[in-house]
Structure 1
């Protein structure tokens, strides 16, 4: 999902965000919180990754195309605008592709 500097910076952001919650604060070790996150369902992981991406000004948009073809397309804006011109037959494939491309963008620009 995330690799290199993107993974390190995401984990730093995620732990800081969790530690700001009164119910979490310093009650758990970092390793446990990160293990719980990385072993969570795709929906939960994707939501937090997209929140982090927006916090670093990388905006990924995946949306349904319903006019001629049925599918999902992914576009990015922020650091740079990228239209992938790829159509995915499931939302999950579009989200996975968006995160993979955003990871690449982050690791090459930070």
Structure 2
């Protein structure tokens, strides 16, 4: 991950969990979602203002649905915002996003703990 871009993102979106060295992640998928948002921003898919607004909307939506906002679900909101913007900007349809999410769920279900998860064509069935 480009450290300059990560630093700029933490300045533009102040809610990002971070320490003195930059963003912090509890799980690898959180870092991957962060990196995807950076890459899409750098490609001009959305501005940081659009990102911050969408992320804020997703956090508010989750809180209204009962999320206690302890910080543990922050990257779930990040992912929801990412999926929303990707669909709104026409990068991928919501159906495509759901298809891949379901495929990953199937792949996770059949993969023994500690083994790499691999998508197969049958996961899309």
Report if TM-score (shorter chain) is over 0.5: no
Q: Scaled by the length of structure 1, what TM-score is found?
A: 0.32
Instruction: Kindly indicate whether structure 1 or structure 2 has the higher relative contact order, using CA contacts under 8 Å at least 6 residues apart.
Output: 1
Which has the larger helix fraction? 2
